[in-house]
């Protein structure tokens, strides 16, 4: 498990006063300037104050030495989010030609303690860039980096900074080979892992030209995931992202066992949730439809609205128009939009109300 950012035990065991060290006798510490009347002065520990007073002194004098380099480690441990400390440390690493592999080992520890700290991950990226020489050892280092990131994602599969760093590695060094397999492994473990769905879209977007074959494969993969969990918002968002590359969502042809078109499949799914709702409420199919909330997926509804809208738009642009447009809007679209406004997506009720009014004006001669 990741530890807290500030490791007090480290300083209790390893800290010694710089003021009493002959190595630092020639340096005059610079205190933090909080102004004459600070409103809310931070109560730093004595160790923190001393380390950063010396840190400001060596940074201001632009000192390049091993003692300054060691001081940046102390400062980084005390405050791993301090950008200036990491910037100065990188400058010293370059000029002193420090061991980069040793720096990665230090970063292993720092990231384990601070897995969601942007500055630590960014520093690691810069160290890998320094290591990059196009040699075989660099290639091994990159593969090790993927394994390291995977170990961090094993602890938290939705760590944004780890994913961002992994994407940088993949894109910069073209390490796409087994990434889709890794993503599928994560989705098997947790079908609702939004980060894994996002990573799948990232990989597909950078490794394919969205050919008909690729689109069909991704659409079928996502529909299967939706069959497993129709309430999975991540899968519905992924499906919407893939279908946005199509000329037509509504009329997109699906192979068996799915319906002929995407629109027809959405109708079937809506009918299934309607039937399940009737059974849950103990009503017959001849009675007035009432979709039970527990059996109803708002994400299905949202996606279906986009399919219906596109279908209607295509019909009105055809020379013969669409005689059934009004019926589709009144009988199929409006009930979904009302439910989104009143139950399923109240936060965006004004948006769904706008869509409702737009469709009424356009297809129902509503004034």
Query: Which residues have a catalytic role annotated?
Result: 116
Q: Are 195 and 156 in contact (CB under 8 A)?
A: no
By the 10 Å C-beta count (0-12 exposed, 13-18 middle, 19+ buried), 292 is classed as middle
Q: Within 10 Å of residue 1's Cβ, how many Cβ atoms? A: 6
Q: Are 217 and 204 in contact (CB under 8 A)?
A: no
Q: Are 187 and 197 in contact (CB under 8 A)?
A: yes
Backbone φ and ψ of 255, nearest 5°: -80, 170
Q: Are 169 and 145 in contact (CB under 8 A)?
A: yes
Integer Cα distance of 222 and 227 in angstroms: 9
Question: Which of the 8 DSSP states describes residue 244?
Answer: T
> What SS3 class is residue 81?
coil
């Amino acid at each position: 498990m990741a530890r807290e950012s500030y490791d007090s035990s480290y300083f209790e065991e390893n800290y010694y006063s710089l003021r009493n060290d002959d190595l630092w006798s020639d340096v005059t510490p610079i205190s933090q300037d909080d102004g004459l009347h600070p409103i809310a002065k931070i109560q730093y520990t004595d160790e923190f104050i001393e380390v950063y007073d010396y840190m400001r002194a060596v940074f201001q004098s632009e000192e390049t030495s091993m003692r300054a380099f060691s001081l940046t480690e102390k400062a980084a441990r005390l405050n791993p989010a301090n950008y200036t400390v990491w910037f100065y440390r990188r400058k010293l690493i370059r000029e002193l030609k420090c061991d980069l592999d040793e720096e990665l080992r230090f970063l292993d520890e720092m990231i384990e303690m601070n897995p969601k700290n942007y500055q630590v991950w960014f520093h690691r990226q810069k160290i890998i860039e320094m290591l990059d020489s196009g040699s075989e050892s660099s290639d091994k280092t990159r593969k090790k980096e993927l394994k390291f990131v995977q170990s961090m994602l094993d602890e938290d599969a939705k760590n944004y900074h780890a994913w961002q760093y992994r994407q940088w590695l993949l894109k910069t060094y073209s390490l796409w080979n087994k990434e889709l397999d890794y993503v599928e492994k994560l989705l098997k473990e947790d079908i609702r892992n939004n980060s894994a769905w996002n990573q799948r879209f990232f990989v597909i977007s950078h490794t394919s030209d969205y050919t008909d074959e690729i689109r069909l494969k991704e659409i079928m993969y996502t529909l299967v995931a939706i069959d497993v969990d129709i309430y999975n918002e991540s899968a519905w968002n992924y499906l919407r992202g893939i279908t946005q590359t199509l000329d037509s969502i509504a009329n997109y042809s699906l192979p068996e066992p799915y319906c002929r078109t995407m629109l027809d499949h959405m109708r079937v799914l809506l009918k299934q949730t309607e039937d399940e709702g009737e059974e849950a409420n103990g009503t017959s199919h001849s009675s007035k439809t009432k979709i039970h909330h527990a059996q109803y997926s708002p994400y299905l509804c949202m996606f279906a609205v986009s399919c219906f809208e596109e279908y209607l738009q295509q019909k009105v642009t055809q020379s013969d128009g669409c005689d059934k447009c009004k019926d589709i809007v009144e009988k199929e679209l409006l009930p979904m939009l009302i439910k989104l406004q009143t139950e399923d997506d109240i936060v965006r009720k004004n948006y769904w109300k706008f869509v409702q009014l737009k469709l009424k004006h356009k297809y129902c001669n509503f004034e």
